[in-house]
Structure formats: C-alpha cells, structure tokens
C-alpha cells in the first residue's frame, strides 16, 4: 500500500469517527470509545487541533496564565497529553509545560529542541513566528529574555534578534512606546515583516488609518505572523475608514479569494459596494450572506437598507415579513415613509434619500484580530491634540498655513504622520508635500517652552536636503507652537527655509 493510499484510509476513518460539527468534548468522548489502530494518531490530531484553537489569532494572554478564560481548551489539551502522550519531549514538551503552567520546564525543553536541530541551520522569520510567537505570545515574566540568551548560545541569530525585540515589545506599557520601538527596529532591520505587521494593528488601534495602510501595504503578500487573508481583511477595513472604497473592495475580494469562509468579509464587501452606490451588487452579496447563514449580525440590516436605496420597497417589506431578523429601528421608520410599490430610482435620487444609516457597529464588522495589545490606552501629550487637528485638516484637503499640502504618502515608504528617518534617530510629527513634490516638515510644540525648536527643525531640513529630497525640489520647515519667544522668532526670520506659526485656543463668553 502506498503512503497516499494509507493516508486516504486514515482520513476516511477519521471522518467516520469524528464527523464534521462535533465539539472538542464530543471528539474526546469519541476518542475514548474508539479502539482501532489509529487511536494514538487520532489523539495526536485532536491535540493539535486543540492547541491551534487555543493559540489562534494574535493577542496577549490578557490575564494571568493560570486564569486564562478559555480553560476548556487548555484543560482538554493537557488531559489528552497526560492520557496518550505522558512523556513530552523537545518543543512539544515546552508547549505542554507552558500551557499547563509549569514554566520552569519550558526553556530546558526548548534547549533540548535546539540541541536536536543543531545542524538544521537558522530559523527564518516565518518559522520564528510559527514556532515561538504563535505558541507563547508574551510568555511568562522573563521568557523572551531567556529565549534571547538561549538563541545566542546556539547561534540562532534571527531568533535572538526577534526574541529581543519581543522582550522589549512586551515591556512597553502603551501603544506609543511600542510604536516607537517597532519603528526604530524597522529602520535598522528593514527586511523583517513582523514589525510592520504589529505596527499596522497598533496604528489601527490608535485610529491612525493612513499609517496603518502604509504598514499593511508594505507587507502585503509577505506577512510572517498573520495569514495573508488576515492582512487583506484588515487592509480592507482600514481603507473603508478613509473612504477609499475601491481599494477596500479589492482587499475584501482578495480576502475572500484566499479564505471564502472568512467571518464578516462577505458582509463588509457588501457594505463597501453599498458605500459605492452599487446597490444591485450589494443586494446580491447580502442575500448570499442570508442563504449561507453567515455574518447575520450585520447582513440583514444592510440588505434592507440596500433595498431602500435601490427603491425596492416591496422587496424590503417582504424580506422583513418573511424573516425573524431584528432590523434597526431607524431603518424601519424610514421604510414606513416610503411608497408601497417598488420604484425605479437613479443613484442621484437615491443620494438625496432621507434614510439615516445605522451606526457602523450595525453595518460593518470590526477587525477580527484582537488589537488591544496593552490594557491602558496610550497617554499622549498635548502635541497629540494639535497633531490630530492638523492631520484632520490635511487629510480632508483643507488648506493650512496658506498652503495646499497633503501628508506624504508613497508606496513602499512610511506614511508622513510620525514619519521615522535617519535610521530611526528622529520621528517627524508631520511630513507633507505640495503639488510640486516639495517637502514640508511640520514640528509641533504645545507651548513656548522649547528653545531648541529652531535647531531641531533646521536639523531635519538639512538632513532631508542631503538624503531625501528629489532633484530640483525644496524642503521647508514649519514650526507650530503657542506664544513663541523673541529669540525663536529672530532665528526663524533669518532662515528663509523655515516658517513659524502660532496657534491659539480662546474661550469667549456669549453675553
């Protein structure tokens, strides 16, 4: 019998014993009842499935190791290992010990594993993520530091570098310090994908949408930690936030091409089509969701609203009458104002429709991956408020400082908000361009207590003139602060490359 024939028999037997749809507890019970020749093989498969479900997705274990909420998976995995594989060795022993909470045995088992593979060469980035980061996440206190030292001892350079990065990453207590760390690392290690993957989700968490887009685009088809379809879903969602719907549609379609079953991708694609006023296409997508019984937290609302926008009022009422889905109250109220019969309406008329869209939480599903890496939200200084305000103006196309600028955005490079340069030495508040591709470095200060604002901005301008600006283009600096000191004003006046603006916040009582 060939290996292929043996594998086919194995799979047929497995599917017979464990038909699709069983819970893990039911699989365990079936395993105990089974007495065929594949008992240990089946136990191994179920143990692998349990650990995959347990570690699935990327996030921190947000509570103490002994209090992880999904105790069912953990306990069942440990139980199967104890009953069927009592002697755990090498990497399996490390994972088993960690899940069980016996942390003192984890590193010795990994060392046993390194010894066993000493002639296999170094790990690449993908194998580091799949082997260590997926299974241990933030680990226990000191885990990543111990792994860094062990990797150095055995000459696994990539494991050493990335373990050291994750040790520092998990010691960050907020998104801002984590972003700074990852940007600095990516500047000196540009070939790694992991920092950009983490940055994409951290920027998403901070609602820095364009920064997130640049990171996700940079590692599209190259991600090592997340599956490609995870990245496509996240990219689609972030593109939707900045209303770049054509790019959002491309990303969701790629996600569904890679993973047709992916939760909420189909609904979100439909909502993206709806936003583009492609109501007929959106309707077909939402109907598909209903037929396949998927994304039902969102799809029924979106189907009804699409019917209304398309003038298919009869269809909307029929769908509501024939199904038990709870439809948003404001959609029902708007439908009640519409004619009884379907009406052919053009997109222009539909745009003037008085329907009020339900909030996003009832329309488009959030990114599935848990992105809250740190329990506390980052606490930015007042410069962040000023940065947010200017960013909002620039991204909406409003003139600032008497100029028509846009935030720097080039494929393969960083986005111009919190732009890293000089091998991670500096982080610019905002890097902008005009229509002629001249660069503008915006340095934002919350008050006048910054005597070095000119020197700092001049340093940036000098560096960009030497290293970044295109031939024939210019670089300018713009300093923005409150109540500038006379000395600063004099320095700026003497340098025609730099301009100074004062911002003011005033409150006036209306009497």
CA gap 178, 195 in Å, rounded = 10
Nearest by Cα to 386 from 417, 423, 347, 360? 417
- Asked if 263-362 and 382-502 have one fold, the answer is no
Instruction: State both tokens at 299.
Output: 């799809």
CA gap 2, 413 in Å, rounded = 51
Q: What DSSP line would sit under 310-379, residue for residue?
A: TT-HHHHHHHHHH------HHHHHHHHTS-SS-----HHHHHT--PPPPPGGGTSPPPSS----SSSPP-
CA 275 distance to own-chain centroid: 22
> pLDDT per residue over 444-456, tens digit each?
987 655 568 899 9
Neighbour-count burial for 59-83, b at 16+ CB within 10 Å, e otherwise? eebeeebeeeeeeebbebbbebbee
338 pLDDT more than 60: yes
| Measured CA distances, 110 to 66, 79, 116, 129 (Å) | 21, 22, 10, 15
Boundaries of every domain in the chain: 3-191, 263-362, 382-502
CA gap 62, 69 in Å, rounded = 9
> pLDDT per residue over 50-77, tens digit each?
888 777 765 665 544 444 446 778 888 9
355 pLDDT more than 90: no
CA gap 408, 209 in Å, rounded = 14
Query: In the predicted model, what is the mean pLDDT of residues 33-61?
Result: 83
CA angle 329, 331, 335 (to 5 degrees): 115
**What pLDDT score was predicted for residue 73?**
81
> pLDDT per residue over 254-289, tens digit each?
999 999 998 899 999 999 999 999 999 999 999 999
**What pLDDT score was predicted for residue 346?**
65
359 pLDDT more than 60: no
Q: Which CATH architecture has domain 382-502?
A: 3-Layer(aba) Sandwich (3.40)
Query: In the predicted model, what is the mean pLDDT of residues 336-357?
Result: 66
What kind and span of H or E run contains 442?
strand 439-444
CA gap 142, 107 in Å, rounded = 11
373 pLDDT more than 80: no
> pLDDT per residue over 465-510, tens digit each?
998 888 889 999 999 988 788 888 999 999 999 999 988 766 666 6
> pLDDT per residue over 421-433, tens digit each?
888 788 899 999 9
CA gap 295, 310 in Å, rounded = 22
What kind and span of H or E run contains 215?
helix 209-218
Q: Under CATH, which number does the domain 263-362 receive? A: 1.25.40
What kind and span of H or E run contains 240?
helix 228-241
């Amino acid at each position: 019998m060939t290996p292929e024939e043996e594998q086919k028999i194995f799979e047929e037997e497995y599917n017979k014993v464990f038909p699709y749809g069983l819970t893990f507890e039911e699989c365990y019970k079936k395993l105990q009842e089974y007495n065929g020749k594949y008992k240990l093989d089946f136990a191994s498969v179920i143990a692998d499935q349990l650990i995959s479900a347990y570690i699935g997705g990327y996030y921190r274990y947000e509570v103490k190791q002994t209090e992880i909420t999904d105790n069912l998976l953990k306990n069942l995995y440990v139980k199967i290992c104890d009953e069927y594989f009592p002697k755990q060795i090498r990497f399996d022993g490390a994972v088993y010990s960690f899940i069980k909470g016996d942390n003192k045995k984890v590193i010795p088992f990994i060392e046993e594993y390194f010894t066993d593979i000493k002639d296999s060469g170094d790990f690449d980035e993908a194998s580091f993520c799949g082997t260590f980061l997926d299974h241990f996440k933030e680990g226990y206190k000191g885990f990543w530091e111990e792994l860094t030292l062990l990797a150095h001892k055995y000459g696994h350079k990539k494991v050493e570098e990335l373990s050291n990065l994750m040790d520092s990453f998990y010691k960050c207590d907020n998104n801002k310090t984590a972003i700074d760390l990852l940007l600095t690392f990516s500047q000196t290690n540009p070939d790694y994908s992991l920092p950009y993957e983490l940055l994409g989700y951290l920027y998403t968490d901070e609602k820095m949408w364009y920064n997130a887009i640049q990171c996700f685009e940079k590692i599209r088809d190259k991600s090592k930690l997340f599956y490609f379809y995870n990245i496509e879903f996240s990219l689609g969602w972030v593109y939707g936030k900045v209303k770049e719907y054509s790019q959002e549609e491309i990303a969701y379609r790629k996600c569904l091409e890679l993973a047709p079953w992916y939760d909420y991708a189909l609904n979100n694609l439909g909502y993206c089509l709806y936003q583009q006023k492609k109501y007929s296409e959106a309707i077909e997508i939402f109907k598909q969701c209903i037929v396949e019984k998927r994304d039902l937290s969102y799809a029924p609302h979106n189907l009804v609203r699409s019917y209304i926008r398309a003038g298919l009022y009869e269809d909307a009422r029929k769908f509501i009458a024939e199904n038990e889905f709870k439809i948003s109250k404001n959609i029902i109220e708007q439908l009640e104002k519409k004619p009884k019969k379907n009406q052919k309406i053009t997109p222009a008329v539909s745009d003037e429709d008085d329907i009020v869209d339900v909030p996003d939480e009832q329309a488009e599903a959030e990114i599935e991956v848990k992105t809250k890496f740190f329990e506390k939200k980052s606490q930015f200084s007042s410069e962040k408020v000023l940065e947010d305000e200017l960013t909002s103006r620039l991204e909406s196309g409003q003139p600032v400082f008497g100029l028509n600028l846009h935030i720097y955005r080039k494929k393969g490079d960083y986005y111009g908000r919190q732009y890293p340069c000089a091998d991670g030495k500096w982080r610019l508040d905002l890097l902008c361009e005009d229509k002629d591709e001249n660069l503008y470095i915006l340095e934002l200060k919350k008050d006048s207590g910054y005597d070095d604002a000119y020197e700092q901005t001049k340093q940036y301008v000098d560096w960009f003139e030497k290293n970044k600006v295109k031939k024939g283009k210019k670089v300018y600096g713009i300093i923005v602060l409150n109540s500038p000191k006379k000395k600063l004003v004099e320095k700026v006046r003497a340098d025609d490359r730099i301009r100074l603006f004062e911002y003011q916040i005033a409150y006036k009582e209306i009497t």
